[in-house]
Amino acid sequence: MKFFSTIIEQLDMAVAEIAVDQPINSRLALILIDNATELLIHRSCEQYAAHGTGKDRTPLSPKMR
């Protein structure tokens, strides 16, 4: 739950920065959105590596990780 609250907090901060309507604030918003996206992708990759995909849900071998 803490993971998702971190993502939501970053996206909420990005919305506040966009509302200021200044270039520097828009850049900060972009950084916050980029970071939230990277965290989500990283977590997805970790789950993929740990549990595999497909019908058999075979975990990836250590060599593939």
Extents of the domains making up the chain: 2-51
Residue 64 has which token pair?
């593939």
Q: Is the pLDDT of residue 62 over 70?
A: no
pTM of the model: 0.74
DSSP 22-65: -HHHHHHHHHHHHHHHHHHHHHHHHHHHHH--TTTTPPPPTTT-
Residue 1 has which token pair?
């739950």
What is the predicted pLDDT for the residue at 50? 80
What is the predicted pLDDT for the residue at 59? 60
Q: What is the pLDDT of residues 5-58, one digit of tens each?
A: 999 999 999 999 999 999 999 999 999 999 999 999 999 988 888 876 656 666
What is the predicted pLDDT for the residue at 49? 82
